[in-house]
Amino acid sequence: KTKTLSNFHRTAFVTPDNRVVMQFMNRDNSEVTVSVKQTDSKTFTLSLPAHSMQTVILPASTATKIM
């Protein structure tokens, strides 16, 4: 089930060395699970505990989507 949280924030950018950096911040009082789909159809999930922040670094891809 997809849940919209006003206390969940994310950003992503491509570095000069062509990597994708994603940052997730959970300001909510409960854990949040995020799914990220990559161009090769692989998906990974990331669980962020309450009041936490996580950084993920991937090879650059124009089709990487944060869901």
pLDDT at res. 59 = 79
Amino acid at 25: M
pTM over 0.85: no
Q: With 70 as the cut, is the pLDDT of residue 62 above it?
A: no
| Domain region containing 56 | 8-66
23 within 8 A of 7, measured Cβ to Cβ: no
* CA nearest to 65, candidates 43, 33, 32: 43
d(CA 42, CA 40): 5
Quick one: DSSP state of residue 23?
A: E
User: How many domains would you assign to the chain?
Assistant: 1
Q: With 60 as the cut, is the pLDDT of residue 65 above it?
A: no
49 falls within a domain? yes
14 falls within a domain? yes
42 falls within a domain? yes
d(CA 1, CA 63): 23
Q: Cβ–Cβ contacts within 10 Å for residue 37, how many?
A: 14
Domain of residue 38, CATH code: 2.60.40.1180
Give residue-wise pLDDT tens across range 9-52: 999 888 887 788 999 999 999 999 988 887 777 888 999 999 99
- pLDDT interval class at 63 (50, 70, 90): low
3 falls within a domain? no
